[in-house]
């Protein structure tokens, strides 16, 4: 684990924003998820030492956020959601300046600035003022400034914001590579669940100031051995009607196929027999497997039903 949180609470005035959280971030890359107002940004600011806790402890790579804030900032790279650069500086001058603030010598900071800017894909633009960049390239500068000092932990807040489809795909590959290859641990906060699923190996879900789910994504994605997603060739409406007549819950899914739940005692032979009876061909079928969106929504629904006893 690289983040260890125990009975951690944060108050804003009389309002409790984080409520006695106990959890751990482990693995190489963690997706931090939650609806707006859940407490994600407050948790990030607390880990950075900007917002003191009302009670409890949190440690990053063994350093206590209450007492080792400066040490923690030396080992963390932070990519904020909003703009955080000096627009009149060129990208290379900006990164050299930030590298020097992080403790690198002038020469080492300049060398590192060139390396990181090429890594994020804007090496050819590095001598232009950052304010002249497109929104997508400004986003890349924010990632570069988080990487310039070689952090042990990288916190990314909405890293794919403002990116076109091609730029988003490149950013996702960068984030995944950082988590898998660089040796840095990654915490990625995003509202785009597909990006988190692509980039991260585990997930922490926050709702109403509590952690309601923490686990490895691959282990959370369960197969439902009674629910099938199928694609057919033939009369779709007739097949759906026949399934409904037999009491099989079914509906069109978002991939142009049909999702059907077979009752106890029925199996794939029953499914093929019905298709043969109706005169349609089953072209593809597989067990339903939870997506990250399914997992996320289920965790939120469970926490809303059991709000006083949400898991922390």
Cα–Cα distance between 5 and 132 in angstroms, integer? 41
Check residue 111 and give its pLDDT: 96
Strands 185-189 and 153-157, bridge-based pairing: parallel
More confident residue, 259 or 77: 77
| Closest among 146, 138, 101 to 109, alpha carbons compared | 101
Helix axes 106-119, 135-147, angle to 10 degrees: 130
Mean model confidence pLDDT for the chain: 89
Residues forming a β-bridge with 213: 205
* Neighbouring residues of 6: CB distance < 8 A, sequence distance ≥ 6: 22, 56, 57, 58
Cα–Cα distance between 37 and 17 in angstroms, integer? 9
The architecture (CATH level 2) of 223-289 comes to 2-Layer Sandwich (3.30)
- To the nearest 10°, report the CA torsion of 191, 193, 195, 198: 150
**What are the tokens at 144?**
């570069």
Any idea which of 131-140, 192-201, 274-283, 285-294 has the lowest mean pLDDT?
Answer: 285-294
Residues forming a β-bridge with 233: 281
Cα–Cα distance between 98 and 85 in angstroms, integer? 10
Fold exhibited by the domain 3-219: Rossmann fold (3.40.50)
**What are the tokens at 280?**
């349609």
pTM recorded for the entire structure: 0.80
Check residue 311 and give its pLDDT: 44
In the predicted model, is pLDDT for residue 312 greater than 50?
A: no
Q: Where exactly are the structural domains of the chain?
A: 3-219, 223-289
Task: Please work out, in degrees rounded to the nearest 5, the angle formed at the alpha carbon of residue 2 by the alpha carbons of 81 and 8.
Answer: 75
Per DSSP, which regions of the chain are E strands? Answer: 3-12, 15-25, 29-33, 55-60, 63-64, 76-79, 153-157, 185-189, 202-207, 210-216, 223-233, 250-252, 258-261, 281-289
* Residue-level length of the chain: 312
Check residue 182 and give its pLDDT: 83
| Closest among 195, 127, 202, 113 to 161, alpha carbons compared | 195
pLDDT tens readout for residues 109-156: 999 999 999 999 998 899 999 999 988 899 999 999 999 999 999 999
Contact of 253 with 200, CB cutoff 8 Å:
no
On the question of a common fold for 3-219 and 223-289, the answer reads: no
Residues forming a β-bridge with 129: 90
Phi first, then psi: what are they for 90, rounded to 5°? -70, 160
Check residue 24 and give its pLDDT: 96
pLDDT tens readout for residues 7-58: 999 999 889 999 999 999 999 999 999 998 899 999 999 999 889 999 999 9
In the predicted model, is pLDDT for residue 261 greater than 80?
A: yes
């Amino acid at each position: 684990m690289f983040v260890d949180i125990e009975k951690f609470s944060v108050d804003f005035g009389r309002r409790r924003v984080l409520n006695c959280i106990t959890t751990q971030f482990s693995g190489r890359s963690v997706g931090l998820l939650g609806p707006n107002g859940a407490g994600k940004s407050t948790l990030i600011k607390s880990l950075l030492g900007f917002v003191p806790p009302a009670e409890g402890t949190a440690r990053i790579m063994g350093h206590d956020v209450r007492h080792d804030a400066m040490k923690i900032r030396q080992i963390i790279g932070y990519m904020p959601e909003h703009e955080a650069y000096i627009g009149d500086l060129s990208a290379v001058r900006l990164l050299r300046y930030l590298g020097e603030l992080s403790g690198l010598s002038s020469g080492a900071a300049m060398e590192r600035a060139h390396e990181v800017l090429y890594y994020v894909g804007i090496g050819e633009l590095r001598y232009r003022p950052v304010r002249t960049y497109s929104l997508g390239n400004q986003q890349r500068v924010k990632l570069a400034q988080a990487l310039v000092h070689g952090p042990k932990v990288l916190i990314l807040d909405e890293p794919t914001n403002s990116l076109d489809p091609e730029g988003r795909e490149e950013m996702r590959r960068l984030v995944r590579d950082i988590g898998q290859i660089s040796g840095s641990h990654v915490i990625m906060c995003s509202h785009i669940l597909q990006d988190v699923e692509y980039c991260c190996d585990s997930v922490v879900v926050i709702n109403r100031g509590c952690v309601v789910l923490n686990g490895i994504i691959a282990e959370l994605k369960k197969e439902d051995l009674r629910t099938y997603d199928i694609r057919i060739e033939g009369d779709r409406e007739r097949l759906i009607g026949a399934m409904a007549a037999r009491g099989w819950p079914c509906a069109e899914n978002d991939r142009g196929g049909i999702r059907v739940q077979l009752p106890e005692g029925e199996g794939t032979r029953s499914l093929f027999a019905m298709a043969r009876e109706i005169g349609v061909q089953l072209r593809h079928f597989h067990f339903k497997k939870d997506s990250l969106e399914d997992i996320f929504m289920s965790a939120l629904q469970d926490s809303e039903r059991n709000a006083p006893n949400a898991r922390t």
